Structures are given as structure tokens and as C-alpha cells.
Homo-oligomer: A and B are copies of this chain.
């Protein structure tokens, strides 16, 4: 496949570094680059049709976001993520996202109220239609709006890194499907609490939402594992 950038693919005017970052990010999150796999600058540069400079900068950014590890003078490899990691990530999420919605309930602006309600309506719509592609998109937007509503640069920064870990943890699972209806109701409850300014209630609801999401994720991983093992048996 030809991944060369600056093609008029979506006529992006963002910097090459950002495009390269997005490309490698997508490759890692989709599992095309597997854990332990070394990322060679020159190879990536040729593949994407750019020089090593933007590649290096993108790799550094990926390192700071925790997706790859870099060993000086040797190179960078894709990070794997263990079950323990996932449990830890979700434990941290409970606290930090809990704080985020608490602050959001206290500080949200009028415009953000409207945006959140609008986005939630779309989530309802796509849940009914069972269009999980679109649902995932608006789910992400919902959470981002919520995080912006807490009006905190610092918390936003922490959350950004944390959410990258979460995305990484989700590799290979189906994301929504059967839990979609339940998740929607949880989102509805959180939204209501935020809009009526019930900070503690919003936090507790978010904590519970994340607990449930973890249980669901772990179950999905078990399913995926069994499916993979079956596949291996078939090949043998």
C-alpha cells in the first residue's frame, strides 16, 4: 500500500509532523504495528514520502504519549499493554475523569451545554440505528466536550495523555455493540447531572460508568482471545 503524504487525500493543511504522527498513531492503535515491533526512521520516511525530520518528531510525540518506547542510539519500539496496565489505566480514569465531570458541572458554559445536548441527541439517534461507527465518533466528541467544559488547561493535558492510553487499551475490542444501550443511559445520567450542576453526583456516575466500561472491556478481550486461539488452531 502507498502511504505517501501531502497527496491531496484530504487536502489537510496541517504540518507534516502532525500528519506523520496521525499516521503512525493510527497504525499502532489499529494493530498494524504490533507491540515490540521496531519503528525504523528511514523506512517510515520512505514509506510516507517525507524526510526523517518530521518522522523523528512524530516518534518523540508518540513516546511522550506512551505508545512507543525509545532507547537512545538504538531505536523505538511499539509498546504493548497488559491486563494489569488496563486495570491501572481505568483506576486512574475513575479519579481523573471523575474530577473532570465534577468541575464541568460547576463551570460549564451556555454554549457547551448546547453542544453537549446536541451531541447526545446524535448519540441516541445512532444507537437506535445501531450505526456503531458513527456512534463511536460522537461518543468521543461527547467526552471531549465534557473535558473542555471543566475549563482547566492542566486537567485537559492530563486527560489527553490518559485517553491515549485508553484508546491503546481498547485495541482489538469491538468498542460498543451490546453495551451500547446501557452506556447510553449512563451517559444520559451523567449529562443530566452536569447540566443541573450536581457536581458530586456527576462524579459518582462517571466513576460507575468507567467501572462498567472496564468490566465490559475485559469480557470482550476474553472473547477476542478465544477467537484468536481458534484461528490459530485452524491454521495448524
Footprint of B on A, CB under 8 Å?
15, 56-57, 60-61, 64-66, 72, 85, 88-89, 91-92, 95-96, 99, 152-155, 157-158, 161-162, 165
Other-chain residue from B57, B60, B92 in contact with A99 (beta carbon distance below 8 A): B92
Excluding A92-B96, A95-B99, A158-B158, 15 further A-B contacts by CB distance (< 8 Å) are: A57-B57, A57-B60, A60-B60, A60-B61, A64-B65, A66-B157, A85-B154, A88-B154, A92-B99, A92-B154, A92-B158, A96-B96, A158-B161, A158-B162, A161-B161
Other-chain residue from B56, B91, B154 in contact with A66 (beta carbon distance below 8 A): B154
A72 CA to B155 CA in the complex, in Å? 23
Other-chain residue from B64, B89, B99 in contact with A64 (beta carbon distance below 8 A): B64
B88 and A15 contact, CB distance less than 8 A? no
A154 CA to B168 CA in the complex, in Å? 12
B161 and A85 contact, CB distance less than 8 A? no
B64 and A155 contact, CB distance less than 8 A? no
- On whether A152 and B88 interact (CB within 8 A), knowing A95-B95, A95-B96, A158-B158, the answer reads yes
Q: Which residues of B contact A154 (CB under 8 A)?
A: 66, 85, 88-89, 92, 165
A161 CA to B153 CA in the complex, in Å? 13
A15 CA to B56 CA in the complex, in Å? 15
